[in-house]
Amino acid sequence: MADLGTGEIYTIAIAGSGKLASKLLQALQQNNLNIDFLWGRNGVTLQELAKSSNAQVVEKEFLTQIQSPCIVFLCVPDAALQDVIEMFSGNKNLLLIQMSGSIPRIQTLGHQAETAVFYPLMTFTKDRDVNWKLIPVFLETDNANTSLLLEKLAMQLGNTCRYMNAENRKSLHLAAVFANNFVNHSLAIAYKICAEGNLDFALLKPLVEETISKAFETNPALVQTGPAVRQDWPVINEHIRFLSSSEYFRNVYEANTHSIQNINI
């Protein structure tokens, strides 16, 4: 239950029981926002999550029929979002919060559940704590009361927040795929090359930390180094030969090399 100072007391539910659900639950609890209900499709992980909280696992009918204001955080896969929102949209007491960067806010008709977006820009991992206060959060709503509620929620969790429309959120999400997923994959390839040469991957840590620190002080394209930007073809060709047994890694190498050589700064 939460009194966020908006003049209304809300119960809080989380839909889903994956990494995001688990980290959000933890953050809410740590900031004195008690989770009342958990709903989801995976009974096993749902029970695990219930154990780490006072929350009650409920059936979908419980939420579709609840008679008091209830915030439902939708920590479900993007592909399931439309179905879950449709499932709950008949109950006007529900505020359905989308947590996703890549999906536009799903509109419901009047006199139905309201939808809003609360998108935390972060990567979440099981068994790994993350400092919620450092996470920027992006909001979308067309209701002034809900604005106030979302802002109070972000404030209570310690997040900086700002409003962002679906189009910009999609851009930001794509940027995050490069900055997080593809950065991680480059490191995964580096790890594998090190492992095959019996080299300690940790040797690369100071280099990577310097790379990141430097990149955020400027436009990273301006500080690009390495054989690609130097057009150092003997080294590039040697690397491509080295990667000849791994088609996928070689493609990543070639795509990056050509892109580095052709980026418009």
Closest CB 234 distance from a copy of itself, rounded Å: 7
Cβ–Cβ < 8 Å for 106, 79: no
Taking residues 94 to 133 in sequence order and writing x for each that binds a copy of itself by CB under 8 A, - otherwise, the string is --------x------------------xxxxx--x-x---
92 in contact with a copy of itself (CB under 8 A): no
Nearer to a copy of itself, 48 or 209 (CB): 209
Cβ–Cβ < 8 Å for 98, 117: yes
Between CA 134 and CA 158 the distance in angstroms is 8
Closest CB 11 distance from a copy of itself, rounded Å: 30
Nearer to a copy of itself, 83 or 191 (CB): 191
Nearer to a copy of itself, 1 or 221 (CB): 221
Closest CB 114 distance from a copy of itself, rounded Å: 25
Match 């390839």 to its residue by tokens: 189
Between CA 212 and CA 216 the distance in angstroms is 6
Size, binding site for a copy of itself by CB under 8 A: 92
Pick the piece of the chain touching a copy of itself (CB under 8 A) from 33-41, 105-113, 141-149, 240-248: 240-248
Closest CB 59 distance from a copy of itself, rounded Å: 27
Cβ–Cβ < 8 Å for 138, 117: yes
Q: What does the angle CA 132 – CA 138 – CA 143 come to, to the nearest 5 degrees?
A: 125
Least Cα distance to 30 among 159, 160, 156, 161 occurs for 156
Stretch 155-214 residues interacting with a copy of itself (CB under 8 A):
167-168, 170-172, 174-199, 201-212, 214
Nearer to a copy of itself, 19 or 60 (CB): 19
Q: What does the angle CA 42 – CA 174 – CA 120 come to, to the nearest 5 degrees?
A: 55
Nearer to a copy of itself, 145 or 171 (CB): 171
Between CA 94 and CA 102 the distance in angstroms is 22
φ/ψ of residue 256, rounded to 5? -65, -45
- The sign one gets for the Cα dihedral 215, 101, 98, 50 is negative
Closest CB 129 distance from a copy of itself, rounded Å: 10
Orientation angle between helical segments 233-242 and 247-262, nearest 10 degrees? 160
Amino acid present at 207? L
Closest CB 216 distance from a copy of itself, rounded Å: 5
Stretch 210-239 residues interacting with a copy of itself (CB under 8 A):
210-212, 214-217, 219-221, 223-230, 232, 234-235, 238-239
Nearer to a copy of itself, 56 or 251 (CB): 251
Closest CB 77 distance from a copy of itself, rounded Å: 8
Between CA 146 and CA 148 the distance in angstroms is 5
